[in-house]
Chain A
């Protein structure tokens, strides 16, 4: 079994919060990522789901060094990047790239498509200058855009087209791992379908590994081999996509799955909805013990006192709940 392309060991990303204007004093820590361990195998699509504030975007940024990790280990293609300097990160990013959520904000409005796609190739000096136009045309065709549009600016494209440009840009260096941070959330349903099909095809044809971050479970289920569910900086359940989404075990995953509206009137009327009380917690004031206990229908006293570790279950998945076998 070859090594995983990405390995995270107890990764933590904390942001100190300082209050005050003239005299700044510490006012706590936002523990955005609070002990995440997982591995992405080569050629695998790992879906990462969670709601606002769970830390999934911060996790993606930490993996690629856009945000420094506070503790823990990031191993990318066998290289330990925990204490890496800028040169090591630049080298690492030739193999791992990111697609961002907002297709309107992630493309430089003053750069043509050509410039945006050529930039990574020129920065990393992957080929001779003369080869760049050919490669740019190839990338555009790969994502379904006509190469003759290369001299247009982002504002001349629709949201879905801009997201294709973002995907093309991420592929410019032929990475082995792509992190997609909510790549379809800002798009209409029919356009989402196009981008999902594109990503699935690229994974197959280019043998890519993909970390797909989203809040929409049906999208994640469609494209992922395995799924990790995040809550307040920690993974609460991790397993095969079909298992986690069709037979969720952790109380939060069960509520998340239950909350998704399905376009089937009879199923909707018949279903027993789990409606969670309260709001997702603030990472600035995390609850004691298990972060989910204030909203958990199964919470008991012991849940307030200890943080449940991610433990393996009989069917191969992992879940972080001390009561998992009883409920």
Chain B
């Protein structure tokens, strides 16, 4: 029984310029203790998908058109608000890209750290503060006792990210959703934060959904990978399977455009064209206009994600038919 099972999630944004299909029918599962990477470029829908699961999509203009997200027997998309609130921040936690905008600049870090405990566990302030101090030390913040009463702006980017991780994990959630938590950090600080997430995951056994555009980060952290394009899942599978035998033209193109894999000086492969306008998606496969292998059938038929090898699925009609 997976920890989280998402089925046919569709989140559309209804704006004056049209209906923006940010997430357009994705299904995936996360097992206890595993790390799943969701990879995609800007506009792929990876963040909106997770915001939808967490109930953080403003509705309007957003609307969860269909789908379910079953966590511990409860459908997060349909349950009463009070039930969602009791799960959010307690059993499922989320960390974001920019800690400066996701930490409250007006509150001391101590206040923000103890808040989840006061709300979800009815803890006393004294007990909560003790847990907060322990948590700050666990995330590698030295002299936690001296710094716990500081404001967010008094910390550096890497330290703020550690504070956010401490806040997210203080209630010992079963699932952590990390939305590009290291994208805005220097590479040496990123290495520290990734090492921290790895260690905490080993110690607590929690599952992690890690959203990123960086294939290198996925390679070092995740057990499974989901690749998104234009609001849809185009490929999913075990880490090595997807990296070593990518079975969707978009995944293959993405790998080929990364400098580190190329011989120095050779011209980098580029994906022709531009990402699609999500309010004016063409019929058929969303990637077809930019795909070197697209046929007339690709432009007419909507592809579904199908298993093409054990624990490896692709939403490419031609791959499914064994043509490429």
Binding site for B on A (CB under 8 A): 51-52, 158, 188-190, 192-194, 196-197, 200, 215-219, 221-222, 241-242, 255-256, 258-269, 273, 275-276, 279-280
Contacts and interface: CB of A to CB of B under 8 A. Distances in A.
* Centre residue among A260, A265, A273 by max chain B CB count within 10 A: A265
Given A190-B271, A241-B264, A275-B195, 4 more contacts: A197-B270, A218-B258, A264-B243, A275-B191
Contacts of A269: 220
B188 interface: yes
A309 to B, nearest CB: 24
Could you tell me the dominant secondary structure of chain B's interface residues?
helix
Given A192-B257, A276-B188, A263 B215 contact: yes
B56 interface: no
Contacts of A265: 219-220, 239-240, 243-244
If over half of A's interface residues share one DSSP class (helix, strand or loop), that class is named, otherwise mixed; here it is helix
Of B191, B192, B217, B254, chain A has the most CB atoms within 10 Å of the CB of: B191
Nearest to B262: A222
Interface residues of B, number: 44
Nearest to A242: B264
A258 B157 CA distance: 20
Contact of B260 (A197, A262, A273, A279): A262
A19 to B, nearest CB: 16
Contacts of A260: 187, 216, 260
A51 to B, nearest CB: 4
A30 to B, nearest CB: 16
A197 B270 CA distance: 9
B259 interface: yes
Contact of B259 (A51, A219, A267): A219
Contacts of B255: 263
B195 A263 contact: no
B265 A189 contact: no
A276 B192 contact: yes
B280 to A, nearest CB: 15
16 contacts: A51-B186, A51-B187, A190-B41, A190-B254, A190-B257, A215-B187, A216-B187, A259-B191, A261-B194, A261-B217, A263-B216, A263-B243, A263-B261, A268-B216, A269-B220, A273-B191
A312 to B, nearest CB: 24
A18 to B, nearest CB: 20
